[in-house]
Chains A and B, each alone.
Chain A
Amino acid sequence: DAKTTQPPSMDCAEGRAANLPCNHSTISGNEYVYWYRQIHSQGPQYIIHGLKNNETNEMASLIITEDRKSSTLILPHATLRDTAVYYCIVRVDGGTSYGKLTFGQGTILTVHP
């Protein structure tokens, strides 16, 4: 699976948009970009994933650049409960893969009042 690079930490004011970047310059054509987050001492939670088109769900939006070498997770109106470690993961889906997820250090997002 392709390696990802994320900033170690970011701050955001409550109510503002949080934009979390991820670089994955060695991504292959069949690899998806996944985002998870882990609130302190809980299991990671799936947020969103995409292949090449921008995606949006009730939690966040995912913007993937045209060359697919980077992406941005957007939390449109951050709340204090969004304070967590955010992981960007690239992996292949389908075929013979059982879907192993490999986690890096992630980005610690702190939302301030």
Chain B
Amino acid sequence: ETGVTQTPRHLVMGMTNKKSLKCEQHLGHNAMYWYKQSAKKPLELMFVYSLEERVENNSVPSRFSPECPNSSHLFLHLHTLQPEDSALYLCASSQYQGATGYTFGSGTRLTVV
């Protein structure tokens, strides 16, 4: 375990389903991130939360909805996804304004059928 825990590890969902991905960190970090990694593509930054406020949304479709209720938890709510949304979704945390590195979770492998 890296200190950033993601659940579930694997998820299969239909295009009409609604599901949520969960990320939890107890490292005392105050910035959290969602990344998407599709097959044979670089990691793409989706959302950034700093001090529980969303500070970046990289043109992500509205079918992905993030939520950061406190500095330790981050969610990604999913609804009416498409098959091309199948990917590895990674959560990370870091210390705002710090020189420390990111800590990533192990990811959720999402398959949309």
Contacts and interface: CB of A to CB of B under 8 A. Distances in A.
**Chains A and B come from one and the same complex:** yes
Interface residues of B, number: 29
Contacts of A100: 33, 45, 48, 56
Nearest to B58: A100
Interface in B95-113: 95-99, 101-107, 109
Contacts of A34: 101
Interface residues of A, number: 24
Main secondary structure of the interface of B (DSSP, over half): strand
B97 A95 contact: yes
B43 A44 contact: yes
Given A98-B48, A99-B31, A100-B45, A43 B99 contact: no
Interface in A89-103: 93-103
Interface of B: 2, 4, 31, 33, 42-43, 45, 48, 50, 55-56, 88, 90-92, 94-99, 101-107, 109
Interface string A69-109: 00000000000000000000000011111111111111000
Given A41-B88, A41-B107, A43-B2, A94 B42 contact: no
